[in-house]
Homo-oligomer: A and B are copies of this chain.
């Protein structure tokens, strides 16, 4: 007796086909960037015909939009700063988390860079989340920003941190992490091994804290 084929299972469970499409889209974006995502390639990877993809998503942009919403939710789930920790370990943990998050989800790194490369935001992401300048109002993003702000303010109140705009701080850490993960303009291959990731996490935790350090006397 053989197990039912993957295709058979998927035909019986549209939800799982949808999930497979999103997972394969993530894999394809990680490999070639957002522009290279094609319905045909997604269908081939999942093992269905291209028209079947359209039963789940109206367009290529709709897949990217769904991934953008998923990214926002994943950020709020995995990168929510822990306000119950003291400010220093809270920032360290958060900065390490940013490295881990994008290192394990390179598709999100390329999506976010693509969004940053367009003033106002990348078309498919804007369709899903609104203009980039308004994203701070999206509930999961706001939750992350507000918690990080509370931690930074607590650090300032305790004399551990200097006052620094939460947005600029976040931008610098995210930018440093994204760039370190994908930077191609160097003889060395990009950060990939567990040891390199570990070193990058330590670097980013230290950098985040040093960015926030009060001026030394």
Chain A interfacial positions (CB closer than 8 Å to B): 30-36, 110, 113-114, 116-121, 132-133, 135-136, 141, 145, 165-168, 170-180, 182-188, 191, 200, 203, 206-207, 210-211, 213
Contacts and interface: CB of A to CB of B under 8 A. Distances in A.
Contact of A168 (B121, B168, B173, B191): B191
Contact of A113 (B34, B117, B213): B117
A179 B184 contact: no
Nearest to A123: B35
B180 A172 contact: yes
Contacts of A120: 32-33, 184
Given A32-B118, A167-B188, A184-B132, A207 B203 contact: no
**Cβ-closest 10 pairs across A and B:** A175-B179, A167-B186, A171-B183, A210-B210, A33-B118, A113-B117, A132-B184, A114-B117, A175-B175, A172-B176
Q: How many copies does the complex hold?
A: 2
Contacts of A174: 179, 183
A107 to B, nearest CB: 11
A186 B213 CA distance: 22
Given A33-B119, A117-B114, A167 B141 contact: no
B114 A110 contact: no
Contacts of A116: 113, 117, 178-179, 182-184
B119 A185 contact: no
9 contacts: A32-B118, A33-B118, A113-B117, A116-B179, A121-B184, A167-B183, A168-B191, A170-B185, A170-B186
A185 B117 contact: no
A110 B114 CA distance: 10
A119, A166, A188 pick with most chain B CB within 10 angstroms: A119
